[in-house]
Amino acid sequence: GHLNNRQSQELVDSLDKTDLNMLVAAHLSEQNNTPEKVKASIEELGFKDENYTIADQQLGTDWIEV
């Protein structure tokens, strides 16, 4: 199944993010979600633009250095 934005937000919030450098939101529903809604949910958790990305359904993401 899929998680809605609130469930995803609660999951990420429960994690130890001490060493988390990048959060990738992926597999967004094209019918029931938007990147803007996901961005708002992620930023509510305190993430800055440079610490997360939202994968495009068709293109994925740019390369991410780990």
- DSSP per-residue letters across 1-63: ----HHHHHHHHHHS--TT---EEE----TTT--HHHHHHHHHHTT--GGGEEE-BTTTB---
The confidence score (pLDDT) of residue 66 equals 82
Q: Structurally, how many domains does the chain consist of?
A: 1
pTM: 0.86
The confidence score (pLDDT) of residue 31 equals 87
In a domain, 24, yes or no: yes
In a domain, 64, yes or no: no
The confidence score (pLDDT) of residue 30 equals 86
In a domain, 63, yes or no: no
Q: Which stretches in the chain have pLDDT values below 50?
A: none
The confidence score (pLDDT) of residue 8 equals 96
Q: For the chain, what is the mean pLDDT?
A: 94
Q: Which domain holds residue 21?
A: 5-54
In a domain, 44, yes or no: yes
In a domain, 14, yes or no: yes
- The CA distance from 18 to 22, in Å, is 11
